[in-house]
Structure 1
Amino acid sequence: MTMFEIIILAIIQGITEFLPISSSAHLILPETILGWDSQGLAFDVAVHVGSLLAVMIYFRDDIMNMLIDWCKCGFTKQQTANSRLAWWVIIGTIPAVVIGFTLKDFIEVYARSGEVIAVTTIVFGLLLWYADKQAHLVKNIGQMTWQHTLIIGFAQAVALIPGTSRSGITMTAGLLLGYDRESAARFSFLLSIPVILGAGLLATLDLLQDAAAVDWSALAYGALFSFVSAYACIALFLNFINRIGMTPFVVYRLLLGGILIILLV
């Protein structure tokens, strides 16, 4: 990979990991339009590390408070808002883990075509628009229940289908359940932590079994640019989402899906 390819792919991964616009759809474009080779397993691990560090550093205070209160809860049996939120993140992760292990091979074989990604980019973009326009956005993250957490968790499992967008579908579910945009986005980002961590660990195990040589400088630059772009993306998104809404991302998804259909069909 050239330095230019490293920077572009790392920035794409860092941004699309958290914006509701589908990372799968974007990573197809360099291969389809520019003829770039697949980024490879090692680089995939590196950019996941960068994204994970970005979300954990941005939410460091929330994570620390959640961990402290969750541990205290085991001794005092008294739940707090932070300990409940920690439980909701755990519960919301379970559906993706179970369904992911169950259907992983099926999805790899039947759902990773460019056509599938183009269609899901459009369909779930329209669903995001409907959720943003029709839902009553009045609840905040402190009002979340375990039932709503499970629904959002199952929505996250749907994102195993490429083109869906993990952040997009979890925000869509949150909006449909009546949560305001910032709360839906915040919970989506917190819910990404165990998912990105798990995906990164699995990819690392696969990497350890791969005898291919590793370009450590490329991985370092990939992690760095992924971290910077992901951190900026989270900060800007949370600051502006209540003002701009989801419509710009929906329009972008429709255009992107249309371009993919033209290129691939």
Structure 2
Amino acid sequence: MSTLEIWVLSLIQGFTEFLPISSSAHLILPSQILGWNDQGLAFDVAVHLGTLLAVIIYFRKEVGTLLVAWFGSLGGTHNGESRLAWWIIVGTIPAGLFGLFAKDLIELYLRSAWVIAGTTIVFGLLLWWVDVKAKQVKDEYQLTLSNAIFIGMAQALALIPGTSRSGITMTAGLMLGLTRESAARFSFLLSIPVIIMSGGYTALGFLDEGVTVNWSELGYGAVLSFVAAYICITFFLKVISKMGMLPFVIYRLLLGAGLIAFLMW
């Protein structure tokens, strides 16, 4: 990989993982449009590790509190934090199952620029509609078991390129009456086990390949994606309540329209 490719792909992963604009779509596009070679499984693991560390470090206090509360719940002590921890686990299960049974089909049939263009537009419009119509009166501690399952089912759809994991989970959260900031926080916390599962699965594939890797490329990729992701999380949570989802919806519509124009040209 060239230095330019490392920088571009790492920053794309870091900045788009937690914004409602689809990181998978943006990582596929360079190869589709610029003709770049696939970055490989090892690099995928490295940049996902960077974004994982970013969200864990940013939410380190919440993660610690949730872990303690979850272990306490195993002994029968329940509170708001333990319930939220359980909802994160419950919300992760649909994506894990869907990924296990449908990943090969998605890789074979849905990793195309046409699919990305369609899902980018459709789910962008859905996000805009929900953001305008939702009541936005709850926080993440008011979620119920059925709410967690609903958001988890929505998260499973994010395996389709262009959907956006953060975008679809925030959309589902807003549908349930969460505020924008609460929907974003739950989405970010929900990303932790999903990124671990996805990265672990990818790492197994990388190890099975038994290929030689360039560790400096992986190191640069991990660091760059970490910095970009941390900045992104910080900025997004500070401005989302006032700014709303409209700027990201507009971006998705322009991206989708641009892709269609490019494909038809």
Q: TM-score range by the shorter chain?
A: over 0.9
Which residue of the partner structure matches residue 229 of structure 1?
228
CA contact (8 A) 2:11 2:224 kept: yes
2:211 alignment partner, SS class: coil
What amino acid does structure 2 have at the position aligned with 1:182? E
Residue 21 of structure 1 deviates from its aligned partner by: 0.3
Residue 31 of structure 1 deviates from its aligned partner by: 2.1
What amino acid does structure 2 have at the position aligned with 1:169? I
Runs of at least 5 residues in structure 1 that lack an aligned partner in the other structure = none
Which residue of the partner structure matches residue 91 of structure 1?
90
TM-score, structure 1 normalization? 0.97
Which residue of the partner structure matches residue 10 of structure 1?
10
CA contact (8 A) 2:51 2:225 kept: yes
The CA RMSD over aligned residues, in Å, is 1.0
CA contact (8 A) 1:95 1:154 kept: yes
CA contact (8 A) 2:32 2:113 kept: no
Which residue of the partner structure matches residue 24 of structure 1?
24
Which residue of the partner structure matches residue 185 of structure 1?
184
Residue 22 of structure 1 deviates from its aligned partner by: 1.0
* TM-superposition CA deviations, 1:28-47 (whole Å, max 9, x none): 33223332222111110100
Residue 124 of structure 1 deviates from its aligned partner by: 0.2
Aligned mates of 2:212, 2:118 — CA distance in 1: 37
What amino acid does structure 1 have at the position aligned with 2:63? I
Aligned mates of 1:53, 1:169 — CA distance in 2: 22
Matched, 1:207 2:206: yes
Aligned mates of 2:106, 2:172 — CA distance in 1: 22
Which residue of the partner structure matches residue 42 of structure 2?
42
> Would you say how many aligned residue pairs link Structure 1 and Structure 2?
264
CA contact (8 A) 1:100 1:157 kept: yes
CA contact (8 A) 1:24 1:117 kept: no
Equivalent residue runs for 1:1-265 within 5 Å: 1-75=1-75, 77-265=76-264
What amino acid does structure 2 have at the position aligned with 1:12? I
* TM-superposition CA deviations, 1:35-88 (whole Å, max 9, x none): 22221111101000001000011111001001111111222x121111111000
Runs of at least 5 residues in structure 2 that lack an aligned partner in the other structure = none
Residue 101 of structure 1 deviates from its aligned partner by: 1.1
* TM-superposition CA deviations, 1:98-146 (whole Å, max 9, x none): 1211212221222112101110000000000001001101111111111
TM-score, structure 2 normalization? 0.97
